[in-house]
C-alpha cells in the first residue's frame, strides 16, 4: 500500500486499470440491460415493476461498497498519513453520494406501487438516508476549513465513525420489522431469487462496479492534477 503513496505510481496504476474497466462497461452494459429489461420475466406479484430492481439493488450495493472505500481510505490517511489514500477517499465520496441518491429515488418509485406510499420511516430506508447525509457531511467538511489538512482530517474522522451505519443498513430488515423485503441474494443459505432474475441482477451489479472504477479513476486524476497545480502555485 505504501508503494502507492507516490502519485506517479498511483497514476500508472490508474492508467492500466481504466481501459479494462471502460471496456467492461461498454461490453456488459448492453447485455445487462437486455437481460434486465427484455429477457428476465415479470414477477408473479410485482409484475413489470420488478425491473426497477435491476437499478435499485446494484445502486444500493454500490452505495455501501463505496462508503467502505471512503472509510478505508480515510482510515489509512489517519493512521499512516497516506496522502493518496485520502485522495482516493475524497474522489469516491461524490460517486457514493450519487449511488445512494439513486437507491433512494428508485426505492421510492418501487415502493409506491408495492407499499402504496413513496416513503416510510422504517429502519432500512432511514439508515440509507443517514448514509446519504454521511456522504454529504464528508464532502462538506473538506470545504469547511481554510486549512485543507484540518478539513481532510475532520472528514476522515466522520467517515471512519460512520462505518457503524453499514451493518445497521445490512441487518436492519432482520433486526426490526420493516416494510422492506429481507435479503434474497447474500444469505447464509444461498440466494432465494430465481436464476432468471439473479443473473441479470448480478450482471448489472458488475456493470455498476466497473462504472464506479471508471469514474473513480477520472476523479482521482482530477484531484492529482489539482494537487500538482497547488504545489506549483505554492512553489
| DSSP letter, residue 164 | G
* Rounded CA separation 106/36 (Å): 15
CB distance 92 to 69 below 8 Å: yes
* pLDDT at residue number 62: 97
Report how far apart the first and last C-alpha atoms of the chain are (Å, whole number).
28
pLDDT for 176: 65
Residue 103's contacts (CB-CB under 8 Å, 6 or more residues apart) are 56, 59, 60, 63, 128
Per-domain boundaries in the chain: 53-180
43: helix, strand or coil: strand
User: Closest Cα partner for 98 from 67, 54, 143?
Assistant: 67
User: Which position has the grid cell 406479484?
Assistant: 45
Spell out the residues 6+ positions from residue 21 whose beta carbon is closer than 8 angstroms to its own.
210, 213, 214, 217
Q: What is the pTM of this model?
A: 0.92
Residue pLDDT tens, the chain, 235 long = 555 567 788 889 999 999 999 999 999 999 999 999 999 999 878 888 899 999 999 999 999 999 999 999 999 999 988 888 999 999 999 999 999 999 999 999 998 888 888 888 888 899 999 999 999 999 999 989 888 889 999 999 999 999 999 999 988 877 666 666 766 666 555 666 888 999 999 999 999 999 999 999 999 999 999 888 877 776 4
- Give the up-direction half-sphere exposure of residue 141: CA atoms within 13 A in the CB hemisphere: 20
Please tell me the distance from the alpha carbon of residue 5 to that of residue 81, in angstroms, as a whole number. Answer: 9
**Euclidean distance between CA atoms 223 and 227, whole angstroms:** 6
Cell of 220: 482521482
Identify the helix (H) or strand (E) that includes residue 228. helix 195-234
Whole-number Å distance between alpha carbons of 233 and 235: 5
Is 26 in a helix, a strand, or coil? Answer: helix
Amino acid at each position: 500500500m505504501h508503494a502507492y503513496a507516490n502519485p506517479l505510481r498511483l497514476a500508472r496504476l490508474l492508467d492500466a486499470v481504466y481501459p479494462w474497466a471502460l471496456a467492461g462497461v461498454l461490453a456488459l452494459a448492453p447485455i445487462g440491460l437486455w437481460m434486465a429489461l427484455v429477457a428476465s420475466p415479470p414477477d408473479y406479484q410485482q409484475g413489470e415493476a420488478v425491473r426497477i430492481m435491476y437499478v435499485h439493488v446494484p445502486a444500493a450495493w454500490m452505495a455501501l461498497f463505496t462508503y467502505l472505500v471512503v472509510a478505508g481510505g480515510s482510515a489509512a490517511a489517519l493512521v499512516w498519513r497516506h496522502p493518496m489514500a485520502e485522495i482516493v477517499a475524497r474522489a469516491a465520496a461524490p460517486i457514493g453520494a450519487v449511488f445512494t441518491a439513486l437507491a433512494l429515488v428508485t426505492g421510492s418509485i418501487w415502493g409506491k406501487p408495492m407499499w402504496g406510499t413513496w416513503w416510510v420511516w422504517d429502519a432500512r430506508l432511514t439508515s440509507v438516508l443517514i448514509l446519504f447525509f454521511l456522504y454529504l457531511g464528508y464532502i462538506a467538511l473538506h470545504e469547511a476549513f481554510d486549512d485543507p489538512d484540518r478539513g481532510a482530517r475532520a472528514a476522515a474522522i466522520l467517515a471512519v465513525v460512520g462505518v457503524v451505519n453499514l451493518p445497521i443498513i445490512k441487518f436492519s430488515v432482520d433486526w426490526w420489522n420493516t416494510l422492506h423485503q429481507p435479503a434474497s441474494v447474500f444469505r447464509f443459505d444461498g440466494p432465494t431469487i430465481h436464476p432468471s432474475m439473479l443473473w441479470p441482477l448480478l450482471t448489472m451489479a458488475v456493470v455498476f462496479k466497473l462504472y464506479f472504477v471508471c469514474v473513480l479513476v477520472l476523479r482521482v486524476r482530477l484531484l492529482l492534477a489539482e494537487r500538482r497545480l497547488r504545489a506549483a502555485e505554492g512553489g
